[in-house]
Amino acid sequence: MIGSISLKEITFKNGYKLILEENSIVLFVGANNSGKSVTLKELYTALLKNNTLKNVAIASIATKTSGSVEDFKENIEHRLINGSYFSKAQSPFQDDGLKRAWDNNDSGILSQFNVNILHTSDRLNLVSPPSSIDLLSQPPVHPFHTLQMNGDLLADFTRYFKTAFDIDITLNFGAGGNVPMHVGKKPIIKEGDDRVSSSYLKNLKELPQLQVQGDGMKSFAGVFLSLIAENYGINLIDEPEAFLHPPQAKLLGQMISKNVHENKQILIATHSEHFLKGILDYAGDRLTIIRLKRENNVVEYSTLNNNDLKIIWKDSILRHSNVLDGLFHSKVVLCESDSDCRLLSALATAIVEHEVMPSPDIHYIQAGGKARFPTVMNALKQIDVPLTIIADFDLYNNEQPLKEMYEIMGGNWADIQKEFKIVKQDIDNQRPELNTVDAKKALENVFDEASEPNLSDKQIKELQQILKKSSAWTKAKSAGKAILTAGDATVAFKKLNLHLEKVGIIIIQIGEIESFDKSVGNHGPKWVNSVLEKDLILSPDLEEIRCFVKTYILNI
């Protein structure tokens, strides 16, 4: 059995308690400056010094040991020099001192041998070649030594590295006084030679070494090697995705969740949706995600329900969307389409720059149509992200999905059901552009002119336009609340709209996003592209939509 120390419980300053298992993987996520890195630093200090008095994040911790003191000493055998066990801080401990610390569960002493915090500089330096050791008589003191002794582990590492960077990495078993890693196409071992043959080593020596490569390669290798090849029971890692492109960050997450032993705890501060997705692929029940929010220098912690995350992960559309990226922002704006997101984001950015105000941490997500609103909203609410929804006026056309959306945001449909019915009925009763007789005649004309077995794209579009004109909701979508009759319908709309805005559902009162600038033709992406060519700050055509963005997105 492996002798180790592990975290049993963490109590945060806001009173929240996190219970951990010996194999827990904990991800701390949140917006910039939410307290993720501070949490890791305070955990490390609390473990080493048993001191949390000046902390802003961690109130207290509780630890436990597994195995025996003899198991623990075997685990740290590589630190035994001339009868003393030397900690990371080079403090010597005799057998009796370690036994007392073990018997008393003294985390301050035990953590010096069994806890590691991996900052950016640590993992970049970890790939420098160590001095060679006698592999038969000396314990490994560096991850490269562990790879020398474990062929399966070395094969895993080289395979993942190749997948991440599309280039070979090779451990040099015959470099003399040190043990370097080489990056580049691995030399072929000729028949009769092996990995220490002079001809092979000569070719290998010509390849550049890992420590002179870019920070992405060094960081990727450093994180993997620290977790897989070093024997720390508690591992704290700050932003492992640093220097990595999204596919590499995801692969690193997969490597960690799939390969790190069950007897290790990993606590990670991350700001990467891609790394998170990689962790989710294999972590299973080991994973706990803690979302951090900082308000008035007080860090708030909340746990994301694993079952909720599994639901998100099983939805193929959500899984391949950017919904989870909302975890790393202060607010999410959910729109019907990607073009809506592009325009609102561009306007918000332009206004912020013009007003010389702090840039808001907003993430824009498209729902992919009205019908998908509830699915995406449920996912975002489950990951505890502040949410604002922007929708066209024709969301009032049907009770669903509006009812479900309102209830997801915490509203009670019974409070507004009466008003909704009044508004809908008022528009339903209005005369459409084409009545039934006129619509039927127009449809027949299109079919009469069709001479081919299949309708052309032009004819299909004509039919669609005729059907749209046969409903008053076509006009409502472009005119918005102006279509409502005076009296009860207008009064009901005001109450209905007020309740929806209160929970964060913002329905465009003038119709649809294209209604903000009718000097531009087209619809959807083409309309947005034309609008984006204008001066977003000075164009008088965009005054109304600028006010909309200020009010509902920037809250100014």
> In the structure encoding, which two tokens stand for residue 329, read together?
């922002």
Polymer length in residues for the chain: 556
Q: What is the structure's pLDDT at 222?
A: 94
Edge-to-edge strand list for the sheet holding 84-86: 80-81, 84-86, 92-93
Class for domain 4-129+222-304, per CATH? alpha beta
The structural domains of the chain, with segments of one domain joined by +, span 4-129+222-304, 135-208, 330-552
Q: What is the pLDDT of residue 556?
A: 72
pLDDT score for 204? 94
Residue 211 burial class via C-beta count within 10 angstroms: exposed 0-12, middle 13-18, buried 19 and up: middle
pLDDT single digits (tens) 64-116: 999 899 999 888 887 888 888 888 777 888 888 899 999 998 889 999 999 99
**Can you give the pLDDT of all 556 residues of the chain as single tens digits?**
678 899 999 999 889 899 999 999 999 999 888 899 999 999 999 998 876 667 888 999 999 999 899 999 888 887 888 888 888 777 888 888 899 999 998 889 999 999 999 998 888 999 999 999 988 888 888 999 999 999 998 999 999 999 999 999 999 999 989 999 999 999 998 887 788 889 989 999 999 999 999 999 999 999 989 998 888 999 999 999 999 999 999 999 999 998 887 789 999 999 999 999 999 988 888 999 999 988 777 788 888 877 777 777 777 777 888 888 888 998 999 999 999 999 999 999 999 999 988 888 999 999 989 999 999 998 888 777 889 999 999 999 999 999 999 999 999 999 999 999 999 999 988 866 655 655 566 566 656 677 677 777 666 676 666 556 556 777 888 888 988 999 999 999 999 999 999 999 999 999 999 999 999 888 889 999 999 999 999 999 999 999 999 999 998 7
Whether residue 251 contacts residue 224, with contact meaning beta carbons closer than 8 Å, is answered with no
Amino acid occupying residue 396: Y
Sheet holding 115-118, edge to edge: 115-118, 234-238, 265-269, 25-30, 287-295, 298-304
Please tell me whether the peptide bond between 246 and the residue prior to it is cis, using omega within 30 degrees of 0.
no
Predicted pLDDT of residue 315: 79
Token reading at 512: 């649809």
Block residue for tokens 């955990």: 43
**Taking the model in full, what pTM does it have?**
0.82
- Which pLDDT score is estimated for 444? 60
Q: Output the pLDDT for position 299.
A: 83
pLDDT at 459: 65
pLDDT at 384: 79
**In this structure, how many other beta carbons lie within 10 angstroms of the beta carbon of residue 208?**
12
| Residue 477: per-residue pLDDT | 81
